[in-house]
Amino acid sequence: MELRELLEKYKAGELAQDEVISAISNTGFEDMGFANIDTDRKKRTGIPEVIYAAGKTADQVRQIVQRMYDKGLDILATRITEEMAQAVLAIVPKASYNQLARTISYKHKDEVCSESYIAIISAGTSDLPVAEEAAETARFLNNKVVTVYDVGVAGIHRLFNKLDMITNAKVIVVVAGMEGALASVVGGLVNKPVIGVPTSIGYGANFQGLSALLSMLNSCATGVSVVNIDNGFGAACQASLINKL
């Protein structure tokens, strides 16, 4: 809660003096013993606290979500399992679960998006879990999102059919496995920032995404930057910051 809002609620008699003092002296995080929820992250960085669910138990995720929900914080958890999703839905029934993206999210109130949008492109259908993670994250961060899926270099004419939609975006996220060539192709066609997301999709010499990562890092197209393998979340956060400049 902002300081001005606190003072207005105190003046209106909606908050007691002790409640105001407690809120003002807040340390900026919620100590749960096994986790510290960073309640000030959005103010510092523009990106709120997000739960990375991989490696956590369903009960740990449930407890973190419960605390965030009670504190009025918006909720996004990535790399969620079905068990975790059901645990969250039991306490936040209106949360949105995307099984393909492995995300679950809840916003206490909708915020107005700008007219500019992020284009998220996937090379193949097999890349969709990472592309959908990026899309869900970008929407959670109050961005308009346009998705263009299954337009990889093996059938490049499919990409050209959507080129107007892509070039009108403020920033473009390109998700590709195999040899990761799509990021370079898009980078050579547009005058917007391109964020490449290599995926672990591919046969043996793909090395679980390493070949796609190296291809994107070695791109000769200008304006292409790259995040880690399968990191749709990180790409969406970067795209959101660019989109809101």
Q: Is the pLDDT of residue 17 over 90?
A: no
**Tell me: the pLDDT tens digits for 160-218?**
989 999 999 999 999 999 999 999 999 999 999 999 999 999 999 999 999 999 999 99
What are the phi and psi torsion angles at 175 (to 5°)?
Answer: -110, 120
Distance, CA of 108 to CA of 106 (rounded, Å):
7
Output the six-digit token pair for 71: 């504190």
CB 100 within 8 A of CB 69: no
Q: Is the pLDDT of residue 1 over 60?
A: no
Q: Which long-range contacts (CB under 8 A, 24 or more apart) does 4-9 make?
A: none
* Burial annotation 136-163 (CB, 10 A radius, 16+ → b, else e): bbbbbbbbbbbbbbbbbbeeeeebeebe
**Residue 72: its pLDDT value, please?**
85
Q: What are residue 111's DSSP bridge partners?
A: none
Over residues 7-31, the mean pLDDT reads 73
CB 58 within 8 A of CB 77: no
**Tell me: the pLDDT tens digits for 36-89?**
777 778 888 888 889 999 999 999 999 999 988 988 889 999 999 999 999 999
Distance, CA of 68 to CA of 189 (rounded, Å):
42
**Tell me: the pLDDT tens digits for 106-155?**
998 888 678 899 999 999 999 999 999 999 999 999 999 999 999 999 89
**Residue 115: its pLDDT value, please?**
87
Distance, CA of 117 to CA of 166 (rounded, Å):
10
Q: What are residue 201's DSSP bridge partners?
A: none
Global pTM reads 0.85
222 against 31, higher pLDDT: 222
Give the 3-state DSSP-derived string for the chain, with helices as H, strands as E and coil as C: CCHHHHHHHHHCCCCCHHHHHHHHCCCCEEECCCCEEECCHHHHHCCCCCEECCCCCHHHHHHHHHHHHHCCCCEEEECCCHHHHHHHHHHCCCCEEECCCCEEEECCCCCCCCCCEEEEEECCHHHHHHHHHHHHHHHHCCCEEEEECCCCHHHCHHHHCCHHHHHCCCEEEEEECCCCCHHHHHHCCCCCCEEEEECCCCCHHHHHHHHHHHHHHCCCCCCEEECCCCCHHHHHHHHHHHHCC
Identify the structural domains of the chain with CATH numbers, from first to last: 32-106 (no CATH), 117-243 (3.40.50.1970)
Over residues 14-40, the mean pLDDT reads 72
Residue with tokens 């105001």: 20
CB 122 within 8 A of CB 128: yes
